[in-house]
Each structure stands twice: as structure tokens, then as C-alpha cells.
Structure 1
């Protein structure tokens, strides 16, 4: 759908879609992915990361989406030095913006997004939002046949099609792997071989937080000093007390306060990539109700028990076995 990127706003062209119809749209998107840049893959990754940050109308703000988008591209362009355009002698618009920003603020090469000061992160989001809002939101909308979301550039929102939203939760793992694979394939084709070591691994971990220390500080301050899983009294030595993703990070691929708990080293290691038994889900409901009253944190703005329960159920559908306990 050429020219969709030019529109200021667009509505969903079809409100109800079957899974078969959505798979057809998704497959066509990847099959026809002869893109000039990686932008559409980057936006898809940003949307997937923010699936659980929607409000009760399935709305995301541009600020939410482009925070993830900025992080993706900073880490690809500055940290990994990967070209985002299918022409070797030119730079994609986002590359140019990031390189200029890096030079302006004297940021060394290889610095990851999470190590930037918060004021620079926010400035970076504003710059990438201008590029993304101008070209990418409408382009992805068009490639998805007007069925993934509706958007308005003036009020800066994206609203998921409810059928697509349910689909992306249910098949999150598959769609994430497809997006990562095709993004890595693009990068392999348009970058020098000396930059391509473990490129798929780089893409898969591009949104992973470098450190959970900030979350640890909040949890340690407001939580009981016991392992969430086995009840063992936790050590105040940071190396012995871990922050664990209740729903495994490999599925949710984002860090949210309502999904993080303190655990002992043994439980965190043994649980690893597994889903804890459902009795711990009930415990999480209680923990989160208490925590959101004491630890004021933006992550709880879009939290609900139903959202966490759905995430737990969809993780099970995606192959995460619901049987781990200490």
C-alpha cells in the first residue's frame, strides 16, 4: 500500500480478523520484506515489547513505542555499528540522527542505550519519534493491510486491532522469532562480514536491559527480605540476591516491575527459563497489590491482574511449562 506513510491518521480497515487471515497478513509482510531499511522490523519489535503496556482501550502512546524504537536503533547503530540501509554508501535517516546525536554529546562508541543518562535518552526518543512517526507508522500499517492498528500522528497514539492484539499475545514467541530472523537476515545482507559475528544473537538481545540494579534497589527497599519462591531469608550481599522475571524474560522480553521478584541465587538458577506453578501467580497478585501502594512506579500505570494472568496463560501456550517450584 504505497503512500500510507503520508497520512496523518488511519483507522483499522477490518475490525474482526480470523487467525487464518492474520497469518496470511503476517506471512505476506515477511515474504515481501524487500525493505530499503530495517525500520518496519524495528517498529514491530517495539510494538511486541509494549504489548503489556497498553491501556484498557489497547492504546499505546508514541512515547512508549519510540522509547523502545530508540533503544533498538541506538544499540544496533552505535553499540553494534550495523548499517540500517540497503545501500552501503548512504546512511538511513535514523542512523544519521543517532550519529549526529552521539557526536553532539560526545558519547563513546559501544555505549549501550541503558547507560545513557535519562535526559539524553528522552532527547533521543524525541528525535527518533520524528523519523518514525513521519515514515514508519503508516508504512507498517499499509504493509499489514490496515489491520494491525489504527494511528493518529497529531495526538500521537497507536491503537491495536483487538483481533491482532490477541493474536500477537498468543503467538508472540513465533512472531518475535520471525521478526528477529528477518531483521538479522537484512543486516547480514547489508553489512560487512567483520561486523556480523553472532548477529542474530545481537538482534535477539537488543532490548535486554544491561542491569536490573535499579529494580533491585526498589524491591529491596519495599519487599520482605525473603526469596519469593522458597521463602529463604535473603542476603544483603547483591551477588547472593537476584532479581527474577516471574514470567521468563525470553517470552515477555521486557522488564516490568510487576513481573520482577527478589529470589535467592539457587531458585533463580533452577527456575531459569521455566514458568512457576500457578500458586505463585496468586502470590504475585497479592505482592503487586501491596507493591503498587508502597513503591510508586510508572510500570503499574498499565498493570492489572487480568493482564498478568493473560500473560501467564499465553506463556503456557507458547511452550513454557507451568510446573516449576523449588
Structure 2
């Protein structure tokens, strides 16, 4: 759809309200139609005690956003299978990669889809003899026939069954209205149908809708998790791949500590050759979800790849705290405008006991 067609389409719609949103420091008013208002009403009326509806709604929105700009048919069909694959990806990445609990298991039994996800995670660990978390898109499909069959069964049968029983008909039910009318449900056939013009509306405002769903999801998970940056992790759980930064920029700074001698492995104390240096997060990146100099150390490539998401030892944490106190003093001697930010980050972490706090959260 061209810009001209979008303008013409927008002018035909009867708009119902607006969203005030901050974009690059400027307050912008985003108008939305009666149909989009129904999505916002559903989200506003949703009881924030279960992630099923959030996963279902987000999946539908993202599927619509990935559809072609030019839609020929008047109706668009979305199968439970397509929704289930999205839902499983959200749960897999949040639970396995980011270690986010989706419910309070101390008070109640895990929801069915969450239980299915945990079983698949256990199957993956057993199949590959590993505890290292992996991103969903790198796990399914795989070259392991038995594991693929388990995933396929979950996506085609088990998760659609749960969505059919607990979610699909409840999602559009708000207040005294049994169906607010955002899609036509074919429960027995396990698919939903949307008007093509409604799909176009979702494509226009989908990014904002997804952010609203993610925000509510984050509020819920904050009840069960002490993990930092929950909102960012929920947002990232729908990505096709893990977005990691290159840590090369930190190498020169970390090596300042060894300017007068040999480079030594943070964990073992052994000498490292320059071509075997790797930069590692002591508290795993999947928990911190950021690259902070106070959490980065020098180690060997083999130690880095084998460390996975293991909980650091108390000795590791004490050694890291000591390293940071030493490093900030060394950096002050070499201070220039380029490293001032890193000095401030180290100083803040040292003064506010940041490492110990994150470490205690990570251990649970």
C-alpha cells in the first residue's frame, strides 16, 4: 500500500480517539479507529492475572503485521497453528533464555501452555546434553527428529487445544459483551477470520498495540520475577534472533589492568595469549540483558563458550568487585572524554553495591 493509498484509506475511516505518545522527545497524537479502540478496550478490561490472553493477542497482531501490504481478499484467515507457534516462541524465549517465570507456582499449578513449554525445554536439554539456553528459532526446526516431532505436536495439537478451551472465546469478551467483534471465531475448525480492512488497520498501528500488550505483560511478570529489564525481554522474546552487541569496544579498557604484565584469565588466573582473549559477562547477559563494563571480564574463548548461564560463585563475585575497584582507579589515570562514561558506570556500581544486588536476584 502506497503512502497515497494510506492517506485515502485513513480519510475514509471514522476515528474514535487518540493515543498520546512520546516519540523522540516530542508529544505526538496518534488517532485510532473504532476497530482499534476495541483492541484497546480488551487490553484495558483484561484481568492481569494470566499471560494467555496477552500472548494470544500479541500473536494475532504480529501475524497481521507480517502480511502483505496488498490484501486481495475481503477476509483474512489466521489458524490456531500459526498463533500457537508464535505463543510457543514467546514462552520459550522468556522462560528458557531469559528465565522469566510466567506464574506463581508456589500458589497454584502452572498453566497448561507453560507446562508444555517446560517439557519441551527439558526434551531439548536431554536431546543435546546441554543446559545452555538457546533461542527458539535456533531450536525449531532442528536436525533432531524426535525433538521436532515434540515441537510439532505442541504447535499443531496441544497448544491449539488449550487456546480453544481457555482463550479464543474469552479474549473478545469484555464487560457485558460476549463478543466485542474484533474477529469471527471458528472454534471447532480452529481458526479466526478478520476483515481485510481491519488487518490493514492493525498493520498501521500494530507496533503501538504490541507495545501496549508488552507493557501489560511486563506488569504481570514483575509479580513473579526480580529480573531487570523485564519489558525489554518481553519485547525481545518475539524477535527472530538474539540481538547481541559486539564487545570488542570493551577489550582495550579491560586490558588496561594488565598494561604492566601478562593478561590473565579472570576465572582461572592463567596467562592468556592475545589471540585467545574473549570478553565474558560474569552475571549472564540473558539475565542482565545489557553490556556493562562492571560485569565484563577477560577470559579464554573456551571458558566463555562453556560457561553458559551458570550462577557465578561467591568467590567470582568478590573477585569482580575487587577488579572493579582497581579498574576504576587505573582508568582515572588514563581518563579522557571517551572513557569518562565507563568510569562513571564503574563508580556507580562500586558505590551502590550493584553487582551484589544483581547476583542475589539472579540466584533467586
Contact 1:61 1:156 (8 Å CA) reproduced: yes
Written as runs of structure 1 = structure 2, the 5 A alignment for 1:134-173 is 134-143=165-174, 145-173=179-207
**Matched position secondary structure for 1:160:** strand
Aligned to 1:128: 159
Written as runs of structure 1 = structure 2, the 5 A alignment for 1:11-30 is 18-20=14-16, 21-30=34-43
Task: Flag the structure with larger Rg.
Answer: 2
Note the aligned Cα RMSD (angstroms): 2.8
**Matched position secondary structure for 1:26:** helix
Selected match of 1:201 from 232, 236, 239: 232
Selected match of 2:224 from 183, 187, 191: 191
Contact 2:38 2:180 (8 Å CA) reproduced: no
Contact 1:147 1:161 (8 Å CA) reproduced: no
Q: 1:147 to 1:93 in 2, by over 3 A?
A: same
Q: Which runs of 5+ in 1 are unaligned?
A: 1-16, 213-326
Distance 1:163 1:123 in 2: 33
Distance 1:132 1:28 in 2: 21
Deviates more, 1:131-140 or 1:119-128: 119-128
Distance 2:168 2:132 in 1: 29
**Matched position secondary structure for 2:215:** helix
Distance 2:86 2:225 in 1: 26
Contact 2:48 2:216 (8 Å CA) reproduced: no
Deviation at 1:82, TM superposition (A): 2.0
**Matched position secondary structure for 1:186:** helix
Contact 1:36 1:86 (8 Å CA) reproduced: no
Distance 2:132 2:162 in 1: 22
2:62 paired with 1:49:
yes
Aligned residues: 194
Q: 1:103 to 1:47 in 2, by over 3 A?
A: same
Deviation at 1:32, TM superposition (A): 2.0
Selected match of 2:88 from 70, 77, 80: 70
Contact 1:78 1:109 (8 Å CA) reproduced: no
Distance 1:61 1:27 in 2: 23
Distance 1:97 1:142 in 2: 26
Q: Which runs of 5+ in 2 are unaligned?
A: 1-12, 17-33, 142-147, 244-364
Deviation at 1:40, TM superposition (A): 0.9
2:121 paired with 1:102:
yes
Deviations 1:275-312 (A, max 9, x none): xxxxxxxxxxxxxxxxxxxxxxxxxxxxxxxxxxxxxx
Deviations 1:86-122 (A, max 9, x none): 6643322221122223334535362221122422432
TM, length-normalised to structure 2: 0.48
Distance 1:36 1:130 in 2: 21
**Matched position secondary structure for 1:140:** coil
Deviation at 1:26, TM superposition (A): 2.9
Aligned to 1:112: 135
Bigger relative contact order, structure 1 or 2 (CA pairs below 8 A, ≥6 apart): 1
Q: 1:27 to 1:157 in 2, by over 3 A?
A: closer
Q: 1:19 to 1:42 in 2, by over 3 A?
A: farther
Deviation at 1:42, TM superposition (A): 0.6
Deviation at 1:146, TM superposition (A): 3.2
Distance 1:209 1:64 in 2: 15
Q: 1:50 to 1:44 in 2, by over 3 A?
A: same
Contact 2:77 2:194 (8 Å CA) reproduced: yes
